Amino acid sequence: MNAPLFKFGLFGNEVSLIVAFIIGIGFGFFLERAGFGSARKLAAQFYFRDMAVFKVMFTAIITAMLGLFYLSWIGWVDLSQVYLVPTNVWPDLLGGLILGVGFVIGGYCPGTSCVAGATGKVDGYWFILGLVFGIFAFGEAYPWISDFYNSSYMGQITLPQLFNISYGVLVFVVVLIALGGFLLAEKVEKYFAKKDAEAAR
Amino acid sequence: MDTLTETIPASKTETKKTVKEKTAQPYWNPYFSGIGLGLVLLAAFVIMGRGLGASGAFSTVVAVGVNTIAPHHAEGNTFYQGYLSDGVSPFKNWLVFEVLGLIVGGFISGALAGRVKKMTEKSAHISFNKRYMFAFIGGALMGIGAKLARGCTSGQALTGGALLNVGSWIFMLMVFAGAYAAAYFVRRQWL
């Protein structure tokens, strides 16, 4: 098998849009199944009441990461053909920070707000309006911030390349960190459930 | 007469039962949902050679909106131009179709589990209008942050996380740092 299939010309642009729609359905389905159409469920992560955001995200990351690692190992997927967003250290750092603050204030992220809207959450619609406004504000400010936006450019670079260690070793380390994180998340949830029960008494 | 008085309370309990049956099902186990999500992401990598996304589709909407109202203004802005291609419709875009699917998929899952309902997510401590204001402000910050970082929780954290992308891991750590740092100040909205 030669994959990514699209990059090896198995189908064209028109078909890729149908693929996009079907993949989107899967994406939205599992987000909603996880409870990510609910702002209270998502925000609970940041009060240690429900660590589902961390658990779902890292389970998804290690599933896709391991799948891609093995598929490239047996030679089915050409990793160089999988698109990597280039790294710009400071914009990535500041953007992440602003987005994190927005996450706990707004209760959603762009993807989950779509699921919230689709399942009738009125606050989800307001979030989407805010999102559109924020992107517009960024667009209007772009001529003035484009220097910063393009600063600290490192190109398309992965953690194994940065630390100069093998892909397999790094995959293994990330799996270990995630498993440790899951154990910790379970403990934290139990601790706060107990604390809340005592406070309610 | 006897039969009549008996049938009325019986029908009352029956309507109560049908209301109860409509209550929402519990969410799936997070690890199970996470594996599902991870397999969707893996499918995107293997079939398309790219990951998932969300904020990009909204950027297309904004760019098209600006271009429709003020075409000259959009022409001079390289950010908007990045989403406006010559000849083909900007909406014939991979992320736009993926987000349309995302909405449909979210609705299908919600409908099957009895979770589609007009409501607002908030604690009892704040008013509806305040919640809508916070949702708008949070959304606006999210839009700015996602554009600055070239992606949101889907395109950067999830996709780049699985690809071990350096910028995505910086981004992801900062998302959690920012959210935990600000959580205290908006706790009444949620707890």
Per-residue pLDDT at B17: 47
Predicted TM-score (pTM) of this structure: 0.92
Per residue in A48-83, pLDDT (tens digit) is 999 999 999 999 999 999 999 999 999 999 999 999
d(CA B139, CA A137): 12
Contact B181 A100 (CB under 8 A): yes
Contact B94 A16 (CB under 8 A): yes
Q: Worst-scoring range by mean pLDDT, B79-83, B88-92, B105-109, B131-135? A: B88-92
Mutation choice for A interface testing from B78, B98, B115 by most A CBs within 10 A: B98
Instruction: Give the chain B residue nearest A140 (alpha carbons).
Output: B77
CA-closest candidate to residue A87, choices A98, A79, A95, A78:
A95
Per-residue pLDDT at B85: 77
Q: Worst-scoring range by mean pLDDT, A97-101, A175-179, B91-95, B158-162? A: B91-95
Is B12's pLDDT higher than 60?
no
3-state SS assignment for residue A11: coil
Rounded percentage of chain B residues whose pLDDT exceeds 70: 88
Is B1's pLDDT higher than 60?
no
Contact B121 A25 (CB under 8 A): no
Global ipTM: 0.96
Per-residue pLDDT at A2: 87
Q: For chain B, what is the mean pLDDT?
A: 90
Q: How far is B17 from chain A (nearest CA, A)?
A: 24
Per-residue pLDDT at B5: 45
Tell me what the mean pLDDT of segment B136-141 comes to.
98
Is A103's pLDDT higher than 90?
yes
Per-residue pLDDT at B22: 63
What letter would DSSP give residue B86?
S
Quote the tokens at residue B31: 């690890």
Rounded percentage of chain A residues whose pLDDT exceeds 70: 100
Tell me what the mean pLDDT of segment A153-173 comes to.
96
**pLDDT band at A1, cuts 50/70/90?**
confident
Q: For chain A, what is the mean pLDDT?
A: 96
Q: Is B186 on the interface with A (CB under 8 A)?
A: yes
Contact B139 A126 (CB under 8 A): yes
Q: How many CB atoms lie within 10 A of CB A35?
A: 24
Tell me what the mean pLDDT of segment B95-112 comes to.
97
Per-residue pLDDT at A108: 96
Going A23 to A25 to A31 to A37, the CA torsion angle's sign is positive
Is B6's pLDDT higher than 50?
no
Please state the φ and ψ torsions of residue B76, each to the nearest 5 degrees: -85, 5
Please tell me whether the peptide bond between A4 and the residue prior to it is cis, using omega within 30 degrees of 0.
yes
Supply the angle between the helices B94-112 and A110-118 in degrees, to the nearest 10: 50
Is B4's pLDDT higher than 50?
no
Mutation choice for A interface testing from B27, B91, B102 by most A CBs within 10 A: B102
Mutation choice for B interface testing from A32, A157, A195 by most B CBs within 10 A: A32
Q: Which residues of B touch A28 (CB under 8 A)?
A: 101-109
3-state SS assignment for residue A27: helix
Tell me what the mean pLDDT of segment A160-177 comes to.
97
Is A85's pLDDT higher than 90?
yes
**pLDDT band at A158, cuts 50/70/90?**
very high
Q: List, as ranges, residues 51-90 from B with C-beta within 8 Å of A.
A: 51-52, 54-55, 58-59, 61-63, 65-66, 77-80
Per residue in B15-50, pLDDT (tens digit) is 554 444 568 899 999 999 999 999 999 999 999 999
What element of type H or E holds A176?
helix A167-200
Is B190's pLDDT higher than 70?
yes
* Residue-by-residue DSSP string for B115-183: ----B----TTS-HHHHHHHHHHHHHHHHHHHHHTTS-IIIIIIHHHHTTBHHHHHHHHHHHHHHHHHH
Quote the tokens at residue A146: 């484009």
Going A103 to A188 to A159 to A16, the CA torsion angle's sign is negative
Tell me which residue in B52, B59, B110 faces A27 most closely, judged by beta carbons. Answer: B52
Residue A20 neighbours by CB under 8 Å, 6+ apart = B48, B94, B95, B96, B97, B98, B101
Per-residue pLDDT at B19: 47
Is B173's pLDDT higher than 80?
yes
Q: How far is CA B27 from CA A94, A98, A118, B186, in A?
A: 33, 29, 16, 25
**Residue entry with tokens 């309902």:** B117
Task: Report the C-alpha dihedral over residues A136, A137, A140, A142, rounded to 10 degrees.
Answer: -110
Q: Which residues of B touch A97 (CB under 8 A)?
A: 145, 174-175, 177-178
d(CA B177, CA A99): 10
Is B8's pLDDT higher than 70?
no
Tell me what the mean pLDDT of segment B90-108 comes to.
96
Contact B66 A133 (CB under 8 A): no
Q: Are strands A87-88 and A153-155 parallel, antiparallel or unpaired?
A: antiparallel
